[in-house]
Structure 1
Amino acid sequence: MDDRDLLRYSRHILLEEIGIEGQQKLLDASALVVGCGGLGAAVLPYLAAAGVGRLIIADGDAVDETNLQRQTAFSEADIGNSKAQAMKGRLNAINSRTQITALNEHLTESRLHDLMQYCDIAIDCSDNFPTRVSINRAAVATRTPLVSGAAARFEGQLAVYRPDLPDTPCYACLFEGSGANDGACAVFGVFAPLVGIIGTSQAAEALKILTGAGSSRYGILHLYDALNNEWQQITFTRNPQCRVCGSPHSLRPAGKTMPLIQQSNRQ
């Protein structure tokens, strides 16, 4: 950390719970963010501004005009462009020292597994149930902390999963077999500020995990009702019969450096 970093991140460093040591952890950290839409547009600027050293961002969609109602990281000039690439430009403008890898693709489970092996945290900003299932499976397999969010209509969800800790529940413990399904925003709509509330909460949980500040409580599903400005909490425990985390899973590799990632331009 040089003098420029000490000045830039001074408001973090002044916090006893973060300090120089915690800020250095952020500078050394790698995070995978899946989805650059409403949630990602709220999460990613805060991660970059806070100094997370490496961000891998993935989204296979392009910006369209209906996104601008809530995805505030984009502008009218971005319409038609890759969300991942447009987001990279936005984040580079926020913090030129953060290394950003933009993947214009919908990540498969095997691709998620490969990327998470070299990340300190994963943040699920996706918008569909099958992708969330794949992200969870990869996180469990690689023992990567996962911060998951969802937003639809006026209702949001937030949960932290810690497969890096023993006997902790995963996403499948809560939702597997529930018949969860997602519809399109074009059908049921989404209240614009809702994605900001959930997304910035995801960013806060991620930064706390990376710095070790405070506590990120796992086994709790946080439910937000924007119409009434109310939060509710549902506690849940690990399912010993869970098909994802109920059996031994692989160890993440130690002492490895991030390899060069082949970027895809698939539309």
Structure 2
Amino acid sequence: MGNHDAGRTPVTVIGLGLLGRALAGAFVAGGHPTTVWNRTAGRAGPLVERGARLAGSAAEAVAAGPLVVVCLSDYEAVREVVGPLGEALRGRVLVNLTSGTSRGARETAGWAAERGVAYLDGAVLAVPEAIGTADAVVLYSGPREAFDPHEPVLRSLGAGTTYLGGDHGLSSLYDVAALSVMWNILNGFLHGAALLGAAGVEATSFAPVAKTLIETVAGWVPGYARQIDDGEYPALDSTLGTHLAAMEHLVRESESLGVSTELPRFVEALAGRAVAGGRGGEGYAAMVELFRRP
């Protein structure tokens, strides 16, 4: 109660999976009176020990404060849980940090608007243990007037709290775009580790080299982004045609070592299509034109 007296905004967290528990824990650590609810009440035990209050129902949880954060399995589960609450949600800000698609986010925003609920969609670009630290990036999209009053509270979740704009779908779209980057980086490292492993090299020996290369490529991203926005792809280091020739080396090396060629052949096929389409003399960023088409 002392935190509330000190002017801290009360927060409700619905959904106590790994991420939901981390979100609630960050609000508690930030000094905000935090009410939690989950279908399986036992998950709330450690949070209650730290100062959170366990509500007896979702309706009771929502009534506890002006800001309601939901983190469930999918958007359908969100509507299933908060849908029956009706008037209890009116006048509050509902923040949905459930993973989904931009279409799902916009549909949920429409659903909330029909019920007079201020709605923010969000995406968490961090593992649960990073929540509440400088490493956590949490994105939000929706009405600015719903975000601004609660920004100080939401910053409890991470230093990377970012408002993207009024389009509710932007957070989810950023999320899946970031996942594309993550999976492609990880797949490249894992395939490289498989290649070296075939020669008896441990992955831990490869890791420092891979990390350096990943950091080097990360340094190229701002320049590539400018090329994409400008629609011009100068070959500043090597042409796409040169890249294509090097991809053949990767395929052949994989074959000779008995390592799967599926990933390098796929990459080679994509680059081959771009070269066949007349982009062989441009830089690698020209591949974006291939990805823009179905």
TM-score by length of 2: 0.37
- The structure with the greater share of residues assigned to helix is 2
- The answer to which structure, 1 or 2, has the higher relative contact order (CA under 8 A, 6+ apart) is 1
- The structure with the greater share of residues assigned to strand is 1
